[in-house]
Amino acid sequence: MPGTILTLLTLLCILPIQAAPTGRAFVTNERSNSLSVLDTDTLELIQTLPIGKRPRGIGLAPDGSELYIALSEENRIVVLDPDTLQVLRSFPAGSDPEAFAVHPNGHIYISNEDDARATVYDPRDGRQVADIPVGLEPEGVFISPDGKRVVVTSESTNMLHVIRVPEHDIIKNVLVGARPRAGTFNRAGTVLYASSEVAGEISRIDAVSFRILRSTRLDEDRAKPKDVLLDKQEQRLYVAGGRANAVFVLDPESLELRKRIPVGKRTWGLAMSADGSRLFTTDGVSGTVSVIDTTTDSVIKTIAVGKFPWGIVIDD
Amino acid sequence: MPPIIASMVMQSTPPVPPPGYGALCRALPVLCGLLASGPALAAEFHFYYAGEAGGALLGARQGAAEARIQGRFLGQDYRLEKHPGEGTLPPQGIGIVAAVPAPALLALARAHPEVAVFNVAADDDALRQSCLPNLLHVLPSRRMKADAVAQWQALHPDAGVQAQAWHPAFVKFAARDLNKRFRKAHNTAMDDAAWAGWAAVRMSADLIARGDSQDAPGLLEQLRTALAFDGQKGEALNFRANGQLRQPLLLVNDGGLVGEAPVRGKDLDSLGARSACPSP
């Protein structure tokens, strides 16, 4: 018995202290320079606060204690307390910071859209950790579950750049369909998915050899895919369909279309609740967030937010 | 025209550390610069520009500079040089960007039948009926522009608009980024000819990057049959059988951007005449 207690105590010391989740979803509104705060339980808008010029990328610290927002036209990242919504600090984040991903070690990997670079920052002190030349219009950033690979898409060079951590060198460049925008790894880190907006394509890629295993073109002219996300059981791949005004549900293996969920206009961003029961979309032109119940894959609520909602992150 | 020297397209881009040299490069950037031109250069491709200095030339230079950025990840290099005027192109010659009037354009296309000749300056409808398989019209034809205006005016009866391939205030579909890069590099706004010059080089380099076309005849074949080019106008672009690039157009009123064509509900083939030329 004392042994068990000791083990528990030891575990408590080893595990990072998680900040209590706020139960909120945070949405950047690119054209109203604001942040919308939603209650993920009641699905109501709680608050809208001015945040700075052209907010786009958004993410949480690994322990949930801090919220990061990229202000593209201010060339910096602002750090908020997700609970009090107070601005804690901000730091310069290179030219035109757009999308970013937070590494399990706490570092922020950013695409600097107008500078053909990916940069890495330590948000604790704003120090630049690395600066990596990539292709034109870098956009999507996603990180392997073990943290050893960071993938940056360059939209106008049509590539996924695979960056090794901690070396921060590019070990592979994968040519995909025109205008790659976003991607995600599976939980095992064996496969990744990427969207190509202008080609209307989704690619399934081996995460060791980085060979394209399969690509599929969404069979709808207006389908311009952006965010992609796996469901919790990894049985479904959700794709934000852009101008198709729908979320596409694909089989993650065959990439065959299973379902089409109509949402607001120009849907770009996706985020999943921690329990996997709800999928949130940002609908740019409509200025809404659509909430999808993943048991039925249908919209249960549409929440009005600011102009051109871009990024969304859930703190639950 | 002023001589076009290769160094003009060699915009300085930071060296890419080869795999394994990241830490070394951080410690010794100079050494890294020596080591690190990325993968060993396997291939060099040359474009030739025919025409006066102007927007089209700046556009082609921008396209070549961007192609080099892509190429440095793939061991490919690109150059833009002055068209030699006579004789065949050297083996690295991959395409001709031509900002010349119709008669000179036809002569160029006939003189280099296996090389893609990109028309980036002439909008004559008759040129689109020449059916020369290597003559590719990146600029929209007069007819396409007239169709775009007619579509717009059917919805907005009083609007006096004109149609253009491009506009420096266009921001959608990352047009903002292209306009910004072009202005930064050349200190001037991107016009139709500049967009066309840029597009000619970029669409070629995108196909070359994919590895299916390593010489001029191969590239020409791919351009005519396998193109899905991101012209930063929101659609994947390709050529009609008559060599005309299908593309959205922008509607401009008094210098200001007011809309896009095709209008909602119409497709890209609603702009311009049907091709009367045999399919490739």
Is the CB of A200 less than 8 angstroms away from the CB of B236? Answer: yes
Is the CB of B69 less than 8 angstroms away from the CB of A135? Answer: yes
**Which residues of chain B have a CB within 8 Å of the CB of A168?**
22, 26
Is the CB of B210 less than 8 angstroms away from the CB of A178? Answer: no
pLDDT score at A9: 56
What residues of chain B, 29 to 68, have a C-beta less than 8 Å from chain A? Answer: 66
Is the CB of B70 less than 8 angstroms away from the CB of A158? Answer: yes
What ipTM score was computed for the predicted complex, to two decimals? Answer: 0.84
A166: left (phi over 0), alpha (psi -120 to 50) or beta: alpha
pLDDT band at A289 (very low <50, low <70, confident <90, very high): very high
* Nearest beta carbon to residue A169 from set B21, B177, B267: B21
pLDDT score at B58: 98
Total H helices, total E strands in chain B: 8, 10
Q: Alpha-carbon distance A76 to B162, whole Å?
A: 40
By the 8 A CB rule, do A129 and A121 touch?
Answer: yes
Q: In terms of residues, how long is chain B? A: 280
Mutate to test the interface with B, among A159, A173, A196, A217 (most CBs of B within 10 A): A173
Q: Alpha-carbon distance B218 to B216, whole Å?
A: 5
∠ CA(A61), CA(A65), CA(A68), 5° rounding? 50
Mutate to test the interface with A, among B73, B246, B270 (most CBs of A within 10 A): B73
B213 touches A at CB < 8 Å: no
pLDDT band at A12 (very low <50, low <70, confident <90, very high): low
Average pLDDT over residues A257-268: 97
B116-119/B135-137 β-pairing: parallel
Inter-chain Cβ pairs, chain A and chain B, closer than 8 A: 84
Across all residues in chain A, what is the average pLDDT? 94
Is the CB of B174 less than 8 angstroms away from the CB of A199? Answer: no
Other CB atoms within a 10 A radius of the CB of residue B217 amount to: 13
pLDDT score at B87: 78
A245 contacts: CB under 8 Å, gap ≥ 6: A222, A262, A263, A264, A265, A266, A267, A283
By the 8 A CB rule, do B42 and B7 touch?
Answer: no
Average pLDDT over residues A298-305: 98
∠ CA(A219), CA(A221), CA(A224), 5° rounding? 90
pLDDT score at A4: 62
Phi, psi (degrees; rounded to nearest 5) at A256: -75, 145
* Nearest beta carbon to residue A173 from set B74, B210, B232: B74
Instruction: Give the residue from chain B lying closest to A165, CA to CA.
Output: B22
Q: Does pLDDT of A11 surpass 60?
A: no
Question: DSSP letter string over A279-310?
Answer: EEEEETTTTEEEEEETTTTEEEEEEE-SSSEE
Is the CB of B70 less than 8 angstroms away from the CB of A179? Answer: no
Is the CB of B70 less than 8 angstroms away from the CB of A224? Answer: no
Phi, psi (degrees; rounded to nearest 5) at A190: -95, -20
B21 touches A at CB < 8 Å: yes
pLDDT band at A14 (very low <50, low <70, confident <90, very high): low
By the 8 A CB rule, do A123 and A77 touch?
Answer: yes
Residue pointed to by tokens 């919220």 = A67
pLDDT score at B86: 79
pLDDT score at B279: 85
Within 13 Å of residue B160, how many CA atoms lie on the same side as its CB? 2
pLDDT band at A13 (very low <50, low <70, confident <90, very high): low
Q: Does pLDDT of A19 surpass 90?
A: no
Residue pointed to by tokens 């786009």 = A56
B275 contacts: CB under 8 Å, gap ≥ 6: B128, B240, B241, B242, B244
B116-119/B93-99 β-pairing: parallel
Q: Per residue in A236-255, pLDDT tens? A: 999 999 999 999 999 999 99
Cis peptide upstream of residue B262 (ω within 30 degrees of 0): yes
Other CB atoms within a 10 A radius of the CB of residue B84 amount to: 12
Is the CB of A137 less than 8 angstroms away from the CB of B177? Answer: yes
Q: Alpha-carbon distance B10 to A290, whole Å?
A: 47
pLDDT score at A6: 58
Residue pointed to by tokens 């890209």 = B268
Percent of chain A beyond pLDDT 90?
91
Q: Per residue in B183-223, pLDDT tens? A: 999 999 999 999 999 999 999 999 999 987 789 999 999 99
> What is the b/e burial string over B102-127, where b = at least 16 CB atoms within 10 angstroms of the residue's CB?
eeebbebbeebeebbbbbbbbbbeeb
pLDDT score at B8: 34
pLDDT score at B104: 95
Structural tokens at position A33: 């320079």
∠ CA(A228), CA(A231), CA(A234), 5° rounding? 100
Cis peptide upstream of residue A133 (ω within 30 degrees of 0): no
* Shortest CA gap B228–chain A (Å): 7
State the fold for domain B39-140+187-247. Answer: Rossmann fold (3.40.50)
Instruction: Give the residue from chain B lying closest to A114, CA to CA.
Output: B177
pLDDT score at B90: 85
Is the CB of A156 less than 8 angstroms away from the CB of B230? Answer: yes
pLDDT score at B89: 86
By the 8 A CB rule, do B13 and B69 touch?
Answer: yes
Phi, psi (degrees; rounded to nearest 5) at A257: -75, 125
Q: Per residue in A118-177, pLDDT tens? A: 999 999 999 999 999 999 999 999 999 999 999 999 999 999 999 999 999 999 999 999
Low-confidence stretches of chain B (pLDDT beneath 50): 1-26, 28-40
Instruction: Tell how far CA B86 is from the center of its chain.
Output: 23
pLDDT band at A260 (very low <50, low <70, confident <90, very high): very high
* Nearest beta carbon to residue A114 from set B23, B73, B180: B180
